[in-house]
Amino acid sequence: MDKFDIKTATSLIPVMDNTEEITENIINGIEMYNEYLVDVTQKKLLISFVLKTRLSKSAKLKLKSEYDDVTSLIQDIRKFLLTKKSANSILTQLNNLSQNNMSIHEFGDKLSELFVSLTIAQSDGNPKSCEILRPINEKLAVKRFADGLRNRRLSTIISARDYSSLKDAVRAAEDEELGQPSLSNNIFNAQRRGNQFPYYRSSLRGRGGQMTSRDGQIADKEWTVKARNRKSWGKMEEAFTRREVLNNNIC
């Protein structure tokens, strides 16, 4: 695909509606199509198509009527048509973000959005600066992902593996989460063990139905001690009864 095609351009590049989401989509579409066009003349047709058919009236007033290259056009679209976000503000959001009620996937997506926005804000739209800053900011996002996970066990595992890619860290966390036994299974297994020993069942009722291996050991020891005490008390009762009978006979 080395020649400009208006149908392809129309499908890739939406019409601007003054929302930042559509403006970002326009930039992405221009960048994508520009990669397939080799000849400078064809690239000029792409620029003309965008300026004449994709921009809103207010956007046309903010941009030049002509551009020599696609890179300059994209830089001006970012500069004049997108709200410039403070790098410090984005960095603060990234550093304070935690999983909370989000799924692991949602948490990862939010961090990805923030570190990309941070890179754009820091580089001011310069492609070379973006290439340098992106891996640095992604590493920062991976660290925040590990630290912000709701599950402390997962947090420790992901931190220890030292991922450089946020996508890889998210996938690993999801895999680890699927491999963990659920809380309901743990409780069910504890109840099954408790059903084998009546004394355990009574102990568990007093503890909300939850049992650990330590609980089982303590309960077993307590049961043994009480059994011994009952046996000793029975012997004492028997001896006392015999003594009482003997005294009555003597009298």
Instruction: Note the pLDDT of residue 249.
Output: 44
Residue 31 has pLDDT above 60, yes or no: yes
The answer to whether the CB of 115 falls within 8 A of the CB of 169 is no
Report the candidate in 37, 82, 84, 46 with the shortest Cα–Cα distance to residue 67.
46
Mean of pLDDT over the chain:
80
d(CA 228, CA 23): 81
List, for residues 186-232, the tens digit of each pLDDT value. Answer: 444 545 555 544 444 444 444 454 555 555 555 555 555 555 555 55
Residue 121 banded pLDDT, cuts 50, 70, 90: confident
Instruction: Note the pLDDT of residue 240.
Output: 47
Instruction: Note the pLDDT of residue 200.
Output: 45
pTM: 0.50
Mean local confidence (pLDDT), 60-85: 91
- The region of weakest confidence among 39-48, 129-138, 182-191 is 182-191
Instruction: Note the pLDDT of residue 120.
Output: 85
Mean local confidence (pLDDT), 53-59: 95
